[in-house]
Amino acid sequence: MCGIFCLLRLAAAQLDGDKTVHEHLKRRGPNCSQDLTVTGTNPFYQCVFSAHVLHLRGLLTPQPVQDNAGNVLVWNGEVFGGLPVMPEENDTAVLSQRLSACNDPSEILSILSSVRGPWAFVYYQRARDYLWFGRDFFGRRSLLWKFDPEENGLTLTSVAAHTSGPAQIVWQEVPAVGVFRIDLKAVTDAGSVTFEVYPWAHAGNDLPSTCNEIKLESLPSSCTAVMNQTGLVLASPVCPLNTSIPKLLNETELHLNSHPSVEDLDQLLGCTGSKNEVNSLIDVLSEAVRRRVQCLPFGDQDNSPLINGQAAVAILFSGGIDSMILAALADRHIPTHQPIDLLNVAFKLQDPSTKVESTKKHKKHNNKPTDSTMTGANSQKSSSFDVPDRITGKAGLKELQDLNPERRWNFVEINVAQEELQKMRQERICHLVHPLDTVLDDSIGCAVWFAARGAGFIAEDNDQTCFTSSAKVILTGIGADEQLAGYSRHRVRFKTSGHEGLIQELAMELGRISSRNLGRDDRVIADHGKEARFPYLDEDVVSFLNALPVWEKADLSLPRGVGEKLLLRLAAKQLGLGPSAVLPKRAMQFGSRIAKLENSREKASDKCKRLLTG
């Protein structure tokens, strides 16, 4: 994970990057920070690059990378495949070399579209006076932009800051619709910025109406976007969604209870004939997890020394099916002697009756005094943190311990009280969530930030030990609900407009996951100098799921806890998981009870006043 930044100045005016923004960038990449300025002389322009690198593997590659020809790359990404990267090489260096060899835009696009893995980048192509930038197909890495017409400056950055500047100069997420190119000579002559857009497209598909969408939604003020007339596009890294509608589905002969059980899944595995798909899903997902937990793509970790017995990988863990499957698959690929951290976040219930109860319990258990790193909130043992995700998390832990008793599973109980929530929201989280701004963004942003920080305790035999996860890689289950119809709105849609409606809903959701979730989650998690990884959004996993007809992924005529994400539930059963396989979906804001802490009258889509700083 890195923090990348580029400020393009089109006039000789003094224009410094925002200091707060640089502090935020540095938190993303604590291991190495460097700046580099390149200047175009005729006509004048200047690009100020700044890069902050998080060191995860191999030799540290400082950024910005400048080649002999003067091209400059800042890269916040991981090459999990698609481009050959030898064990001793750095992906940033390899990418820089490959881009150096390019002349035509088509060559640059071809390299970028071959990369498998998340990325956001800015690339200065000196010989042509071009500035390229963009985000990967799903938008798994954050990139924001802002244009200041008075200063004639365009800024691109991984993370920004919540400021109250002039209303028209606002940060926006660069839409993950393709790669953008600025012809620096042309814009300096014209005195205004035009982006040329090379959109992601499926082979044979009509071009999406990218430019119109960008114009309407999130183009910085005073800038324009044009689609390149040559029709150059980036080849989509995944196959299109299968839109077949079942002709005549035989009613599954099932007698399910209203409270589904694991046995129901057995029944389904037996009679739906989907065993092949289940095994294929496990294979492709397992490989996606492997690439993300091993020192990819370089060699094996088995020989790597274990640093103080600390885990290298953590999982955002609610005990629900998405995170359970990630844990079970990570277990296959991480040597058993290494622990895995399961990060489970809970917000304190405010009900006074539970407070009394918690004090009683506190005395009864006679807790050991805890050491100094323990925060006030964490030190209370207590039912006031027994939120739904804590309860399912503990049950999930038990299942994982049964699955692999040899492994040390660190179930980290992360407890957050109202005061700390308010403090950290004002100090940090509001800047990271920005420019997103709804009640839902606030709830999820805060919950994910505290979870990813990983500071809490581990409870064993009535003892609590303070614990802070130092794992630099954090797996999250995002993308499972969007692809396998996990949300209750999928049921609503299915009821009202059948399979057609459901397919439309699924297509729409994967299309907007970058602007809804991924940029925000990347900014929030990276703030701890940790890297978010999304196995359900691996290109091969998405292609596999896209190719399947919708009725093999979900059967919404079946009850909750079975029908949604059916294929994933069958996979969980096959992997040897227990009751977690039939847990109904619970959104993080409710599972962690953060939504309960706040005004319950709010709608998730309302603008959140708490995110506004003073």
Ligand X SMILES: *[C@@H]1O[C@H](CO)[C@@H](O)[C@H](O)[C@H]1NC(C)=O
Based on CB atoms, which residue is closest to ligand X, 7 or 554?
554
- Full DSSP string of 450-515: HHHH-EEEEEETTEEEEEE---SEEE--TTHHHHHT-SHHHHHHHHHHHHHHHHHHHHHHHHHHII
Q: Which of 17, 33, 38, 62 binds ligand X (CB under 6 A)?
A: 62
Residue that the structure tokens 């920005």 belong to: 434
H/E element holding 141?
none
Q: Which of 13, 69, 245, 249 binds ligand X (CB under 6 A)?
A: 249
Q: Cα 126 to the chain's mean position, in Å?
A: 32
Region near ligand X per CB under 6 A, out of 113-121, 247-255, 406-414, 424-432: 247-255
Q: Which of 41, 68, 250, 372 binds ligand X (CB under 6 A)?
A: 250
Closest to 481 measured CA to CA, from 454, 513, 433: 513
Measured from the CB of residue 449, what is the shortest distance to ligand X in angstroms?
Answer: 17
Does the annotation mark 466 as catalytic?
A: no
How buried is 534 (Cβ within 10 angstroms: 0-12 exposed, 13-18 middle, 19+ buried)? buried
Return the closest-CA partner of residue 318 out of 415, 389, 413, 386: 389
- Catalytic residue chosen out of the listed positions 2, 223, 430, 446: 2
Could you tell me which stretch among 58-66, 133-141, 329-337, 374-382 binds ligand X (CB under 6 A)? 58-66
- Asked if residues 42 and 101 have their Cβ atoms less than 8 Å apart, the reply is no
Binding part of the chain for ligand X, among 4-12, 241-249, 386-394, 418-426 by CB under 6 A, reads 241-249
Q: At 419, which amino acid appears?
A: E
Q: Please classify residue 230 by burial: count the beta carbons closer than 10 Å to its beta carbon, then call 0-12 exposed, 13-18 middle and 19+ buried.
A: exposed
Smallest gap, in angstroms, from Cβ of residue 90 to ligand X?
Answer: 4
| Using rule CB under 6 A, residue 226 touches ligand X | yes
Of 169 and 474, the one with the shorter C-beta distance to ligand X is: 474
Residue 531 tokens read as 């890297």
Indicate the DSSP class of residue 192.
S
CA–CA dist 424, 521 (Å, integer) = 16
Tell me how crowded residue 22 is: count the other CB atoms within 10 A of its CB. 20
| Residue 244 is a binding residue for ligand X (CB under 6 A) | yes
245 binds ligand X (CB under 6 A): no
Instruction: By CB under 6 A, tell whether 61 contacts ligand X.
Output: yes
Q: Is 64 in the site for ligand X (CB under 6 A)?
A: no
Record the tokens describing residue 526, joined without a space: 């990276």
Q: Which of 157, 144, 190, 132 is nearest to 49 (CA)?
A: 157
In the window 145-204, what residues touch ligand X (CB under 6 A)? 196
Contact string (CB under 6 A) for ligand X, positions 66-105, x = contact: -----------------------xx--x-----------x
Binding map of ligand X across residues 519-548, x = CB under 6 A, - = no contact: ----------x-----------------x-
Q: Which is nearer to ligand X, 113 or 318 (CB)?
A: 113
CB closest to ligand X, residue no = 93
Nearer to ligand X, 62 or 501 (CB): 62
Region from 248-256, 327-335, 411-419, 423-431 binding ligand X, contact rule CB under 6 A: 248-256
Q: What angle do CA 348, 352, 357 make, to 5 degrees?
A: 80
Positive or negative torsion for Cα 508, 593, 323, 141: positive
Which of residues 570 and 597 has its CB atom nearest to ligand X in the complex?
Answer: 570
Q: Which is nearer to ligand X, 55 or 355 (CB)?
A: 55
What phi and psi, each to the nearest 5 degrees, are found at residue 320?
-75, 175
Note the residues at the interface with ligand X (CB under 6 A): 30-31, 55, 59-62, 89-90, 93, 105, 196, 226, 228-230, 242, 244, 248-250, 529, 547, 549
Active site residues: 2
